[in-house]
Amino acid sequence: MKAVCLTTMITVLLFCTDGIQAQTTQTESPKAGSEYNVLDAWSGIWNVQGELRDSISSPSYHVYWTLTSKRILNGYALEILHQWKTKDFTQNGVEITGYDPIKKICMTHIFYDDGTWLNSTPTFTDKRTCIEDGAMYYPNGKVEVSRWTWNFSDDWMSFIVKGENLKDNVWWKAFEGKGTKSN
């Protein structure tokens, strides 16, 4: 009797559990429409060589910058792994960029392995030019306002990029480089 009762209870429990799972099973989420293809500007692997300055008066030094990126979350966002290499250090970062098809702007957050993070809004001003306004937040509390101008080639396989920082109401060139897409 105990065995029959226990078997019946287990069967009822399994039946109810299956019913609950069947009711809460989610359908596949919709894929992002073509209006999100703006994110493809940075998709793939980009190798950038450039010159960086830490301040208006400091000398420039060479930087190798790699961006490895792919669309995620059914195409609604872009994940980019950053690596900056110089003679003296290597910095890694993780970026998540989304796109607002109504306002026609991207929203970017990058987090670096030294505790620094960046918040920006890249916006295409024409077919091949993107202006990215943002701010870099350092662990010591310092905030640096920046503007990046990305000029893509007609085939989307290369770009020229210029990064500027704002100091005392003056924009100064902090970075200048050229990037090529390897896939």
What Cα–Cα distance (Å) separates residue 10 from each residue in 23, 24, 129? 20, 21, 64
Contact between 84 and 67 (Cβ < 8 Å): no
Which pLDDT tens digits describe the chain residue by residue (183 residues)? 454 444 444 444 444 444 444 455 667 889 999 999 999 999 999 999 999 999 999 999 999 999 999 999 999 999 999 999 998 999 999 999 999 999 999 999 999 999 999 999 999 999 999 999 999 999 999 999 999 999 999 999 999 999 999 999 999 999 999 999 997
User: What's the predicted TM-score (pTM) here?
Assistant: 0.81
- How many CB atoms are located within 10 Å of the residue 108 CB? 20
Q: Give kind and range of the element (H or E) at residue 49.
A: strand 44-52
Per-residue pLDDT tens over the stretch 114-143: 999 999 999 999 999 999 999 999 999 999
